[in-house]
Homo-oligomer: A and B are copies of this chain.
């Protein structure tokens, strides 16, 4: 092989970073890979736009077919994002016998099996390190570095926007809406933030991590998703008071052959490593039976960090092709036919302790009614706090439960919500007191 010839689909933020890296580190990359990485052609809807980057001999085209049908390319880097038209374009690239590198977490999480099967049938490679946690090389860590371990737990801070918002809320004592607006103004959150703040982006990444960690068939629909819209500054203040910090965690845990997999706000111990992950950072923690807990931390998004991950996949591919290797490592660590459909824990099986926040009018008998409902569900209370008194206006009432099941908790919360004195839907947040 004389060079790894690269075509790119999409020339937005990440595309610019990849082009910048490939063009400015040519000698370094060639030394390390043993073969040059040559960016040949970029297809973009706006080939005429000036990106402030000298492109040398790189061709710009407005026609994706000039990449997909090309005979002079070894690999297609897909940086369009989303499902349509990326799914079709990736499919066509693989059909034509080209390797594919993508940063598209939605595509892998929702249509991974279709794409892996196609890549497998064509004998080409599919890289997606950039799809999870940006520059943080957790896909490779799971698939290669921890390949001697049976994994029973993987969790992490997978969405930098949410972590930034929660960090700001805690540090400045501000409500969610205000911090979100500021994050949008700074470009840390999208105009439509739902993909981030409702936990969907984190769930895409968690689906991918879960599949690799457990050899599980990807099933995005099985992941419980709860975002941070309902997190209040009251919750954050209480977390601090109780020695916890509030984080949006993606977590997949295998217990007795059943998988618990969810994205949700969680209280984690103040002194833990996961609590120390702040701002726009991402971090992934993996517990294996031999390695113990290892942790991977860094920038989870952005032009240059994501480019670093895309180019890591390109370097792997170049080194593989140079060495004559064919599909050295399957995309999900084991061959697709070894992937298993994992039984998912139901809410009657999922156990944990919870923080519960209520807004109640302080009328006679309210506390008796609430504790009776909890008692009926066999939920015992570890601590209870009430601040302020008002028989008319709502005051916050905060409780911490001992371990119970989610289903019992949900039933109790539904019944509590119907009480006259309860003025807002109750909110429950899982407490994870044993995380590293």
Contact = CB atoms under 8 A, between A and B. Distances in A.
Interface string A355-386: 00000000000000000000000000000000
A288 interface: yes
Contacts of A21: 148, 290
A221 interface: no
Interface stretch (A175-183, A186-194, A329-337, A402-410): A329-337
A13 to B, nearest CB: 13
A168 to B, nearest CB: 16
Nearest to A287: B298
A426 interface: no
A25 B312 contact: no
Interface in A122-177: 129, 135-137, 140-141, 144-150
Contacts of A323: 320, 325-328
A325 to B, nearest CB: 3
Contacts of A52: none
A315 B33 contact: no
Interface string A8-32: 0000000001000100010011011
A85 interface: no
Given A273-B276, A290-B307, A140 B147 contact: no
A6 to B, nearest CB: 13
A304 B316 CA distance: 28
Contacts of A329: 319
Contacts of A25: 148-150
A17 B146 CA distance: 15
A135 B312 contact: no
A98 interface: no
A342 interface: no
A40 to B, nearest CB: 18
A297 interface: yes
Nearest to A318: B147
For chain A, what secondary structure do more than half of its interface residues adopt (helix, strand, loop), or is it mixed? mixed
A39 to B, nearest CB: 13
Given A135-B294, A326-B323, A32 B145 contact: no
A269 B266 CA distance: 27
Contacts of A311: 147-148, 290
Q: Copy number of this protein in the oligomer?
A: 2
A324 interface: yes
B292 A135 contact: yes
Contacts of A215: 31
Contacts of A292: 135, 298-299, 304-305
A74 B153 CA distance: 33
A389 interface: no
A296 interface: yes
Nearest to A296: B296
A21 B17 CA distance: 41
Contacts of A135: 288, 290-292, 294
Contacts of A296: 294-297
Given A137-B146, A291-B298, A328 B319 contact: yes
A147 B316 CA distance: 9
A323 B149 CA distance: 22
16 contacts: A25-B149, A28-B150, A129-B145, A135-B291, A136-B294, A145-B309, A148-B308, A148-B312, A148-B315, A288-B308, A294-B296, A294-B297, A294-B299, A322-B328, A323-B325, A324-B326
